[in-house]
Amino acid sequence: MQKMSRLEGSKEVRRVLNRFGVDLGQCQYGVYGREICLTGYLMKTDGSEFGGQEIEYMIHEFQAILRGYTVRGDMENWRFSSDHIASLGGEEEEVQEESSEEAA
């Protein structure tokens, strides 16, 4: 499989974020090497908050489209990676994902 360019990777990340209704005015993203990085504040375009399960689905979507990439979110309200999700504000919510190696 041919490695995707940084521009192509960023385009795919933006598509996923748009599909999930992420407010891109609050969330910044980038693709560095084989890592997808999200920073800022994670909220929907309608102003509502995301739940842990929605973030889990978003991570799976990133990994389905950008195979072999890891995901890292260092947000003001969430911290997550390809195998861990933790809420930093409001209600306490933590979701543990199975790693991609265990799922295979």
Domain residue extents for the chain: 6-103
Specify the DSSP element, H or E, that contains 86. Answer: strand 84-87
What DSSP letter does each residue of 26-53 carry, written as one string? TEEEEEETTEEEEEE--BBTTSPBPPHH
Taking only the tens place, the pLDDT of each residue in 55-86 is 999 999 999 999 999 999 999 999 999 888 88
Question: Using CB atoms within 10 A of its CB, is residue 53 exposed (0-12), middle (13-18) or buried (19+)?
Answer: exposed
pLDDT of residue 91: 47
**Residue 98 pLDDT more than 90?**
no
pLDDT of residue 11: 95
42 — pLDDT class (breaks 50, 70, 90) = very high
Measured over the CA atoms of residue 64, residue 66, residue 70 and residue 75, the dihedral's sign is: negative
94 — pLDDT class (breaks 50, 70, 90) = very low
Q: Which of 73, 93, 64 is nearest to 83 (CA)?
A: 73
